[in-house]
Amino acid sequence: MFTDVESFLQSATGDSSPPDGLSPEALSIWHIKAGNWETSHDIAQDIDSSMGSWIHAHLHLIEGDIGNAGYWYSRAGKPARKPAEIEAEWLELATAVLG
């Protein structure tokens, strides 16, 4: 569907709905960039995998709940990140999800 992260990012920065056919992981990170934290969180909670845990950790980092983020990073098998790394981590997530 998307050939690169940039086009995926651009799809989330307008007044649009998410594209059809996104995986739950892609849909969750799409909503992060669209500014829909609650929607993204609701989706991430239902993704029972290390990727879902990583997305969940990222969401709690955005929220500023560092302790909860740390728990989810641990479940994902990922090192904890700092708030200054939010943008870089979103790009890592998008790259991993879009494969």
55: helix, strand or coil = helix
The predicted structure's pLDDT at residue 91? 94
Beta carbons of 53 and 26 less than 8 angstroms apart: no
- pLDDT at 48 > cutoff 80: yes
The predicted structure's pLDDT at residue 16? 78
- 64 — alpha (psi -120 to 50), left (phi > 0) or beta? left
Which helix (H) or strand (E) segment holds residue 40: the answer is: helix 37-45
Beta carbons of 81 and 60 less than 8 angstroms apart: no
Q: Span 14-22, mean pLDDT? A: 83
- The percent of residues in the chain predicted with pLDDT above 70, rounded, is 96
Q: Please tell me the pTM assigned to this model.
A: 0.93
DSSP 17: P
The predicted structure's pLDDT at residue 31? 95
The predicted structure's pLDDT at residue 50? 97
**Per-domain boundaries in the chain:** 34-99
DSSP 83: G
